[in-house]
């Protein structure tokens, strides 16, 4: 209705702005720790079904960025004097994992050639040259790529793209004709989930799916979507956790003065002395890419290190350790 009438549009606007005010603008300043003058979140390692971290009190994994107004809140997060914030994020990690898990030739090839994956998908699905892909076609391909990771149906894709169900089904059919390995993987993971009662990540962490054989079709389909999504989201979570361990080891062994301060699912954020930004950025990327997993151990002498932050108000893990 907001597309056709001013009042619903105004209501939606109000909801967005009031969310920004009540959750961020009003609250975050009250959460500055008087001792450190900083905002400290708590990360939880045993909450999510897929192996991601979660962040609470405050949640720093949902700081606004998508809207123009929201970005202004993010601007308030700055590095200390003499430092810079360095953020490194994995590009299209879940789609790359899908390429690996499915071993689909076309998808692997697109990534191997460093192509813009949404554009490449559009070219294949709509049967045009890479140069002929329109903005609209790329947008559709992007929705298809994201939708697939979540196990979306023609109904959902159509709604997302504002096209009919049949039109959306055509897109999906084209997609699977282009990337048959992906189709096979989706079918296979459903079967395996039903057979085993669980799915697992590349590194073997399991998610049990008790509803995968439910007689209620709706519940069973929901479990099937989880079966498709969890190995991708979960493998991505495994990969960044392994990177975090490596980055932590490296930071402890080096004297860069850099600190790892945040994780947001596919990105790590460090604060780095200005003079060390180039050096730290290079190594950070190498460690996240897994290029130095063994090498650095040759010059790192491990020492016992106590990590974590003592708190007296921790709600979830134990009384004084988060």
297 binds DNA (CB under 7 A): no
Q: Return the residue of 48, 253, 254, 256 that touches DNA, per CB under 7 A.
A: 48
Q: Could you say which DSSP state residue 30 is in?
A: G
* Residue of 6, 217, 302, 308 interacting with DNA (CB under 7 A): 217
Q: Looking at 185-193, 219-227, 248-256, 277-285, which segment touches DNA (CB under 7 A)? A: 219-227
Q: Which residues contact 208 (CB under 8 A, 6 or more apart)?
A: 197, 198
Q: Which is nearer to DNA, 69 or 249 (CB)?
A: 69
Hey, CA dihedral for 133, 143, 55, 29, is it positive or negative? positive
- Binding status of residue 43 toward DNA by CB under 7 A: no
For DNA, the binding residue among 120, 133, 199, 230 (CB under 7 A) is 230
Closest separation between CB of residue 228 and DNA, Å?
Answer: 8
List of E strands, 131-193: none
The token pair that represents 97 in the structure block: 């994992």
Q: Which of residues 169-198 bind DNA (CB under 7 A)?
A: none
Q: How far is the CB of 35 from DNA (least distance, A)?
A: 20
256 binds DNA (CB under 7 A): no
Residue 100 phi/psi, 5-degree rounding, is -70, -50
For the record, the structure tokens of 213 come out as 């054989």
Nearer to DNA, 64 or 181 (CB): 64
Q: Does 231 bind DNA (CB under 7 A)?
A: no
Show Cβ contacts of residue 82 under 8 Å, excluding neighbours closer than 6 positions.
Answer: 273, 274
Which lies closer to DNA via its Cβ, residue 15 or residue 105? 15
Indicate the angle between helix axes 93-102 and 105-112, nearest 10 degrees. Answer: 140
CB of 19 to DNA, least distance (A): 4
Task: Indicate the residue among 91 and 196 with the shorter CB distance to DNA.
Answer: 91
In angstroms, the CA 229 to CA 13 distance is: 32
Window 99-158: residues binding DNA (CB under 7 A): 143, 146-147, 149-153, 155-157
Pairing of strands 54-56, 206-208: unpaired
**Site for DNA (CB under 7 A): which residue of 25, 56, 92, 169?**
56
Q: Is 253 in the site for DNA (CB under 7 A)?
A: no
| CB 58, CB 30: distance < 8 Å | no
Cα 188 from Cα 270, distance rounded (Å): 39
Residue 120 or 154 having the CB closest to DNA: 154
Question: What tokens appear for 206 in the block?
Answer: 């399991």
Taking the least distance from each CB to DNA, the nearer of 270 and 276 is 270
**Quick one: DSSP state of residue 23?**
I
Q: Of 238 and 266, which CB lies nearer to DNA in the complex structure? A: 266
d(CA 156, CA 143): 10
- Residue 267: which H helix or E strand, with range? strand 267-273
User: Binding residues for DNA, per CB under 7 A?
Assistant: 12, 15-16, 18-20, 22-23, 27, 44, 47-50, 52, 54-59, 61-67, 70, 89, 143, 146-147, 149-153, 155-157, 159-160, 217-218, 221-222, 225-226, 229-230, 233, 264-267
């Amino acid at each position: 209705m907001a597309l056709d009438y001013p009042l619903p549009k105004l209501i939606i606007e109000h909801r967005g702005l009031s969310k920004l005010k009540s959750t961020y603008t009003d609250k975050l300043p009250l959460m500055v720790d008087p001792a450190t003058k900083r905002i400290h979140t708590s990360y939880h390692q045993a909450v999510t079904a897929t192996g991601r971290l979660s962040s609470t009190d405050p949640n720093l994994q949902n700081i606004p960025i998508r809207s123009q107004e929201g970005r202004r809140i993010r601007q308030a997060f700055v590095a200390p004097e003499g430092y810079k914030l360095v953020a490194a994020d994995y590009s299209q990690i879940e789609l790359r994992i899908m390429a690996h898990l499915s071993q689909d030739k076309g998808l692997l090839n697109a990534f191997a050639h460093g192509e813009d994956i949404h554009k490449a998908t559009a070219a294949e699905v709509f049967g045009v040259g890479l140069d002929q892909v329109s903005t609209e076609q790329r947008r559709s391909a992007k929705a298809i790529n994201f939708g697939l990771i979540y196990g979306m149906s023609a109904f959902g894709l159509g709604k997302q793209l504002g096209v009919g169900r049949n039109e959306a089904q055509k897109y999906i059919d084209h997609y699977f004709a282009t990337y048959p390995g992906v189709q096979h993987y989706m079918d296979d993971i459903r079967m395996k989930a039903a057979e085993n009662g669980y799915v697992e990540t590349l590194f073997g962490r399991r998610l049990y799916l008790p509803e995968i054989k439910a007689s209620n079709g709706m519940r069973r389909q929901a479990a099937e979507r989880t079966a498709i999504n969890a190995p991708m989201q979960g493998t991505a979570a495994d990969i960044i956790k392994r990177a975090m361990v490596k980055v932590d080891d490296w930071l402890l062994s080096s004297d860069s003065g850099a600190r790892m301060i945040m994780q947001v699912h596919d990105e790590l954020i460090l604060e780095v002395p200005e003079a060390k930004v180039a050096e730290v950025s290079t190594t950070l990327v190498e460690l996240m890419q897994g290029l130095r997993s063994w090498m650095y151990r040759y010059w790192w002498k491990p020492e016992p290190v106590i990590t974590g932050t003592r708190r007296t108000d921790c709600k979830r893990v134990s009384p004084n350790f988060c």
